[in-house]
């Protein structure tokens, strides 16, 4: 198959952060691929990706799963004799691929325009505020702030059923976008690759790789040993997020209670553990990015910052919300709840299907598709 | 006949020889051979104390022949000849036996190696008895220099010699000076203007009082030898000028490869496939346009056209890679929005400032694609109307392993360099040799890259091999320096171990004239015998072995000397057999 060079691909990719390294200076010594602990026969990166970019082979880039197989330990960038920065290039390609998979075009606009991203966050925040004020029983008069006993009546002001309905609405929408985007990813990585024909059965034999990689990120652990704490913190952050997400979206009735449970109650314990996981992770990653401490935190795209700041604000307001509630500070609780939702909803809406948090789904699925392809190729060779 | 009194010196060469050869025993046994007056072994015979021993022995024991058994004559024959001169002996009364390179270094059995050393030394002892005294001769140098070619090499050499006050005859076949450099716009890697470099040189040569310039002129043949050449310059207008000179510089340069034969590139058929020299002209005129007068949006540069490929030339033309980068940079300046594709086989960026130039170029959004120069050349075809470009280049790109189509509106072929079509005639005219690619051969590829095997004839610039401007200038000025050195000396020593003809035995068959590689032998029609020009003769001995009547004697390699040497080896082997 002949592929035509697209000389303008570079311009398309510029705003995704591709420009931080001298990628055009790469002379293909292959040190990056040699040093990478994750690359293997059949899926060679990052040299190959740099080549595709240099030549402007858009289709090759759009259909490759390799950028998702990289966890950015940064060894390649350290070893590169030409300062081509392959690690950050792979990161930029993940941003680019996110925009390729997203059929709505929103991801591309978020990744290429700061103003658009901030405006979107503000608009969603406002919508959340309007909905909250209209569909909850936010007190308007004096004395309506507390119950008869003076306690916080969060379920009276913002009944869990209503919030839960909103949760489901949001989760459904997000799931719709995410699943259709993953479908798009499947089209790109497997269907458009004519060199391999995937038998139906392969999709079942490899299904465990999605689950295992989602919960353990064990490939990440294969990266350089210096990154052990990094991997632990990253995993803890991710699992904490998933835990809180699950409790809020699926068990809100159990999670949002008027009565204050004792400290050892599973509801509070799980909440605390997850919050610690989130908070420690966020502080760690913000610190890394400010100090440019690691190869992978040296270069920050503005979306990296948006993500961390939104996550930080959500967690902080969540902690305050809990603090106010258990201390019976009713007025502060209701207002903080509103602010919390105004941070949480735009964060999830933007990050999960269209921006950085989509890695959560794309990474395990890319590994899944890559494994499916690999097993299909093995069978092809045998035949 | 004088009595032969031979001194034999066996060198240990530290442990180089003594580890594998029992030098003390050998020295004792050699002392028993006839005519050997003294036989010694010493740690380093070539050292000053070692040489002093020889000088002292010559005087005390009245020695008149010396044999040193040590390393290769390449290494120290001259050293010991000088030792003999110091002691008042003719330097040719010396013979060397190589018991290091040909014995101790290449054998592992000490007993056998010792036997071999005895045989080699005995041969030398036998031979040295027949050595004759030879006297060195010198010829006067005519201080004028003849330079063929008015390119940058010829001009540089001419000015160097003329500035020192010596006469130069500079001849140029075409009607203008400056050669290829005069056709260039800028030069890599520092982007100096070629015009600004070459024009002052041409002006100075034109007005120099010591340079006699012959444009539109050629020569047919050069006669004579170092210091005393002569020739006739034939001008295109029919004028003939006879000139005499002492040294020659060949600076005839090279020409560009014609890519019409490479089918894949369609040169001559596709209008916008042009050679690098045609593109250089565009740059000189300051307009980059296709044949239709449009500004090209996509420009491709293909490297190694005619170079590094068995079907054309196997060698690398050295200058094209960096010239290609120079074009890419110049295009980037002239047409900032153009897509530039650099299609290369290997990027050869040796030389000062060149790798840096490559790094700089790779920052300027130039796309580099690699192809297989040996087996898989890119193919250029016309594009269809929907393709939004004039041509498509199909490449099996090496670094991706994929077949890629590159859009192009203009393709620049980086044509290689080859020897001029009349290289052979010039080589014949001045008596120098050519390699398989018709470039002239230097005397030694490493140690003497300026001289040729013909004394007084030097080569400079592209006629020796494709090279860049600074290399050509350096070689030209080195040739000039060599010539000025011989002029300063006033005379030059010539080889004494030459051939000579015994006119009584010569039958006039002229076999020797046919086999002589240095055209040193001519035929005396009156006497009907061959005559050796001793200045041209290098003493190679080819005539001597070719001569059917034995009329030709090669000094220092007479039949007697060689036969006695063989006899010496046989004698020792015979003794060994008897012992066994």
Nearest CA in chain B to A44: B400
Residue-wise DSSP of B118-141: HHHHHHHHHHHTT------EEEE-
pLDDT in tens, A191-240: 888 878 888 888 888 888 778 878 887 777 777 656 678 888 888 998 99
Q: Is residue A4 part of a domain?
A: no
Partners of residue A57 in chain B, C-beta under 8 Å: 400, 402, 404
Q: Is the pLDDT of residue A142 over 60?
A: no
User: Can you give the pLDDT at residue A167?
Assistant: 87
Q: Is residue A2 part of a domain?
A: no
Q: Are A60 and B362 inside 8 Å of each other by CB?
A: no
Closest CA to A67 of A110, A134, A13: A13
Confidence of residue B262 (pLDDT cuts 50, 70, 90): very high
User: Can you give the pLDDT at residue A293?
Assistant: 81
Mean pLDDT of B449-477: 95
Which residue from B341, B359, B394 is facing A2, i.e. has the nearest CB? B394
Q: Is the pLDDT of residue B576 over 70?
A: no
User: Do both A89 and A122 map to the same domain?
Assistant: no
Q: Chain-centre distance of CA B32, in angstroms?
A: 47
Q: Which residues of A touch B (CB under 8 A)?
A: 1-5, 7, 10, 22, 24-25, 27-28, 48, 51-52, 54-57, 60, 82
Q: CA B169 to CA B212: how far, in whole Å? A: 5
A150: left (phi over 0), alpha (psi -120 to 50) or beta: left
Q: Give me the CATH topology for the region B499-554.
A: Alpha-Beta Plaits (3.30.70)
Q: Which residues of B touch A (CB under 8 A)?
A: 298, 339, 341, 347, 359, 362-363, 365-369, 394, 397, 399-400, 402-407
What was the ipTM of the complex prediction? 0.73
Please give the residue range of the domain that contains residue A49. Answer: 9-101
Contact between residue A165 and residue A378 where contact means Cβ atoms under 8 Å apart: no
pLDDT in tens, B305-331: 999 999 999 999 999 999 999 999 999
Q: CA B565 to CA B126: how far, in whole Å? A: 6
pLDDT in tens, B335-384: 999 999 999 999 999 999 999 999 999 888 899 999 999 889 999 999 99
Contact between residue B393 and residue B343 where contact means Cβ atoms under 8 Å apart: yes
Residue-wise DSSP of B197-227: HHHHHHHHHHH-TTEEEESSEEEEEEEEETT
CATH hierarchy code of domain B6-134: 3.40.50
Mean pLDDT of A334-343: 92
Q: CA A316 to CA A321: how far, in whole Å? A: 8
Q: Which of A101, A118, A133 is the last residue of a domain?
A: A101
User: Can you give the pLDDT at residue A382?
Assistant: 65
Element (H, E) at B156: helix B152-163
Q: What is the 3-state secondary structure (H, E, C) of B311-365?
A: CCCCCCCCCHHHHHHHHHHHHHHHCCCCEEEEEECCCCCCCCCHHHHHHHHHCCC
**What does the block give as tokens for B237?**
């207008």
User: Can you give the pLDDT at residue A252?
Assistant: 86
Confidence of residue B242 (pLDDT cuts 50, 70, 90): very high
Q: Dihedrals φ, ψ of B62, to 5°?
A: 60, 40
Q: Is residue A246 part of a domain?
A: yes
Closest CA to B322 of B186, B473, B460: B186
B499-554 has the same fold as B257-417? no
pLDDT in tens, B182-238: 999 999 999 999 999 999 999 999 999 999 999 999 999 898 889 999 999 999 999
User: Do both A126 and A253 map to the same domain?
Assistant: yes
Q: Give me the CATH topology for the region B257-417.
A: FAD/NAD(P)-binding domain (3.50.50)
Q: Are A3 and B347 inside 8 Å of each other by CB?
A: no
Contact between residue B513 and residue B530 where contact means Cβ atoms under 8 Å apart: yes
Q: Which of A80, A101, A122 is the last residue of a domain?
A: A101
User: Do both A149 and A22 map to the same domain?
Assistant: no
User: Do both A237 and A366 map to the same domain?
Assistant: yes
Mean pLDDT of B504-528: 92
User: Do both A93 and A118 map to the same domain?
Assistant: no
Confidence of residue B296 (pLDDT cuts 50, 70, 90): very high
Nearest CA in chain A to B393: A4
Q: CA B432 to CA B425: how far, in whole Å? A: 10
User: Can you give the pLDDT at residue A226?
Assistant: 65
Is residue B149 reached through a cis peptide bond, with omega within 30 degrees of 0 on the bond before it? Answer: no
**What does the block give as tokens for B57?**
């022995």
Q: Which of A70, A101, A132 is the last residue of a domain?
A: A101
Element (H, E) at A59: helix A58-62
Overall number of domains in chain A: 2
Confidence of residue A158 (pLDDT cuts 50, 70, 90): confident
Is residue B398 reached through a cis peptide bond, with omega within 30 degrees of 0 on the bond before it? Answer: no
Q: CA B307 to CA B235: how far, in whole Å? A: 35
User: What is each CA distance from A193 to A6, A43, A59, in whole angstroms?
Assistant: 19, 14, 10
- Report chain A's mean pLDDT, rounded to a whole number: 86
**What does the block give as tokens for B44?**
């380093």
User: Can you give the pLDDT at residue A42?
Assistant: 74
**What does the block give as tokens for B406?**
């590159």
User: Do both A87 and A142 map to the same domain?
Assistant: no
User: Do both A273 and A294 map to the same domain?
Assistant: yes
Options 3.40.50.970, 2.60.40.10, 3.50.50.60, 1.10.150.120; CATH of B145-253+420-492: 3.50.50.60
Contacts of A99 (CB under 8 A, 6+ apart): A16, A107, A108, A111, A112
Closest CA to B465 of B417, B430, B423: B417
Contact between residue B208 and residue B159 where contact means Cβ atoms under 8 Å apart: yes
Q: CA A235 to CA B79: how far, in whole Å? A: 79
Pairing of strands B217-225, B402-408: unpaired
Mean pLDDT of B414-418: 97
Q: Is residue A134 part of a domain?
A: yes
User: Can you give the pLDDT at residue A317?
Assistant: 95
Q: Is the pLDDT of residue B488 over 70?
A: yes
CA distance B393 to chain A (A): 10
User: Can you give the pLDDT at residue A144?
Assistant: 57
pLDDT in tens, A8-36: 888 888 888 877 777 888 888 899 999 99
For chains A and B, CB pairs below 8 A equal 53
Which residue from A1, A25, A56 is facing B367, i.e. has the nearest CB? A56
């Amino acid at each position: 198959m002949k592929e035509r060079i697209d000389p303008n691909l570079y311009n398309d990719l510029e705003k995704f952060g591709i420009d931080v390294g001298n990628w055009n200076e790469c002379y293909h010594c292959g040190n990056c691929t040699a040093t990478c602990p994750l690359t293997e026969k059949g899926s060679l990166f990052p040299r190959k990706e740099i080549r595709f970019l240099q030549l402007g082979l858009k289709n090759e880039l759009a259909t490759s799963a390799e950028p998702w197989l990289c966890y950015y330990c940064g060894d390649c960038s350290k070893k590169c004799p030409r300062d081509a920065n392959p690690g950050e290039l792979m990161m930029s390609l993940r941003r680019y691929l996110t925009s390729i998979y997203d059929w709505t075009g929103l991801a591309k606009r978020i990744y290429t325009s700061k103003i658009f991203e901030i405006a979107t966050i503000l608009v969603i925040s406002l919508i959340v505020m309007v909905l909250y004020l209209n569909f909850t029983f936010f007190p308007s008069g004096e004395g309506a702030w507390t119950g008869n006993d003076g306690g916080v009546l969060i379920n009276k002001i913002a009944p869990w059923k209503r919030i839960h309905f909103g949760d489901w609405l949001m989760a459904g929408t997000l799931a719709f976008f995410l699943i259709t985007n993953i479908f798009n990813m499947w089209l790109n990585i497997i269907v458009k690759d004519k060199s391999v024909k995937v038998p139906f059965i392969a999709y079942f034999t490899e299904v465990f790789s999605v689950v295992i990689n989602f919960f353990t990120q064990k490939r990440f652990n294969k990266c350089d040993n210096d990154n052990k704490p990094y991997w632990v913190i990253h995993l803890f952050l991710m699992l904490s997020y998933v835990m809180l997400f699950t409790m809020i979206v699926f068990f809100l009735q159990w999670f949002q209670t008027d009565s204050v449970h004792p400290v050892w109650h599973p509801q509070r314990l799980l909440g605390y553990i997850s919050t610690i996981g989130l908070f420690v992770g966020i502080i760690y990653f913000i610190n890394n990015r400010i100090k440019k401490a690691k190869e992978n935190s040296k270069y920050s795209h503005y979306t990296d910052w948006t993500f961390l700041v939104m996550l930080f604000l959500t967690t902080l307001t969540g902690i305050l919300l809990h603090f106010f509630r258990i201390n019976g500070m009713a007025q502060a609780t209701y207002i903080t709840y509103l602010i919390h939702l105004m941070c949480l909803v735009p964060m999830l809406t933007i990050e999960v299907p269209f921006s950085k948090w989509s890695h959560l789904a794309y990474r395990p699925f890319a590994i899944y598709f890559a494994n499916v392809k690999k097993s299909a190729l093995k069978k092809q060779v045998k035949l | 006949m004088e009595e032969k009194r031979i001194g034999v010196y066996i060198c240990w060469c530290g442990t180089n020889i003594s580890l594998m050869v029992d030098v003390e025993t050998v020295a004792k046994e050699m002392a028993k051979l006839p005519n050997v007056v003294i036989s010694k072994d010493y740690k380093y015979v070539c050292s000053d104390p070692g040489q002093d021993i020889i000088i002292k022995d010559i005087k005390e024991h009245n020695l008149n022949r010396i044999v040193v058994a040590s390393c290769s004559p390449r290494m120290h024959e001259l050293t010991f000849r000088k030792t003999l001169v110091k002691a008042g002996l003719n330097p040719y009364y010396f013979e060397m036996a190589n018991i290091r390179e040909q014995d101790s270094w290449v054998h592992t059995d000490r007993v056998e190696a010792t036997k071999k050393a005895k045989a080699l030394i005995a041969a030398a002892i036998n031979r040295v008895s027949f050595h004759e005294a030879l006297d060195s001769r010198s010829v006067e140098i005519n201080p004028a220099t003849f330079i063929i070619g008015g390119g940058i090499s010829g001009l540089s050499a001419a000015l160097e010699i003329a500035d020192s006050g010596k006469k130069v005859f500079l001849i140029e076949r075409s009607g203008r000076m400056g050669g290829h450099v005069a056709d260039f716009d800028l030069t890599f890697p520092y982007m100096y203007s070629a015009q600004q470099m070459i024009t002052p040189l041409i002006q100075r040569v034109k007005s120099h009082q010591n340079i006699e310039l012959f444009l539109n002129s050629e020569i047919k043949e050069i006669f004579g030898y170092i210091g005393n050449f002569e020739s006739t310059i034939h001008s295109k207008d029919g004028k003939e000028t006879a000139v005499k000179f002492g040294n020659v510089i060949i600076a005839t340069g090279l020409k560009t490869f014609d890519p019409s034969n490479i089918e894949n590139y369609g040169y001559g058929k596709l209008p916008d496939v042009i050679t690098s020299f045609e593109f250089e002209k565009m740059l000189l005129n300051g307009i980059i346009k296709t044949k239709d007068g449009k500004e090209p949006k996509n420009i491709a540069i293909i490297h190694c056209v005619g170079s590094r490929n068995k079907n054309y030339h196997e060698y690398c033309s050295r200058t094209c890679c960096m010239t290609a980068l120079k074009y890419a940079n110049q295009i980037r300046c002239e047409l900032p929005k153009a897509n530039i594709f650099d299609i290369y086989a290997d990027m050869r960026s040796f030389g000062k400032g060149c790798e840096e130039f490559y790094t700089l170029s790779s920052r300027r959004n130039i796309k580099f694609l690699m192809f297989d120069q040996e087996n898989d050349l890119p193919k250029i075809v016309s594009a269809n109307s929907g393709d939004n470009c004039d041509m498509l280049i199909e490449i099996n790109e090496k670094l991706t392993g994929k077949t890629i189509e590159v859009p192009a509106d203009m393709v620049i072929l980086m044509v290689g360099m080859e020897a001029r079509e009349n290289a052979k005639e010039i080589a014949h005219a001045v008596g120098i040799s050519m390699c398989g690619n018709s470039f002239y051969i230097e005397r030694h590829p490493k140690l003497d890259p300026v001289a040729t095997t013909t004394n007084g004839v030097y080569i400079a610039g592209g006629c020796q091999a494709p090279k860049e401007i600074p290399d050509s200038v350096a070689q030209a000025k080195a040739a000039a320096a060599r010539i000025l050195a011989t002029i300063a000396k006033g005379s030059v020593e010539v080889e004494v171990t030459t051939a000579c003809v015994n006119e009584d035995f010569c039958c006039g068959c002229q076999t020797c004239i046919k086999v002589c590689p240095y055209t040193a032998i001519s035929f005396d029609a009156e006497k009907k015998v061959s005559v050796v020009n001793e200045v041209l003769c290098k003493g190679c001995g080819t005539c001597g072995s070719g001569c059917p009547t034995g009329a030709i004697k090669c000094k220092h390699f007479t039949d007697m000397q060689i036969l006695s040497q063989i006899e010496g080896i046989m004698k020792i082997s015979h003794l060994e057999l008897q012992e066994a």
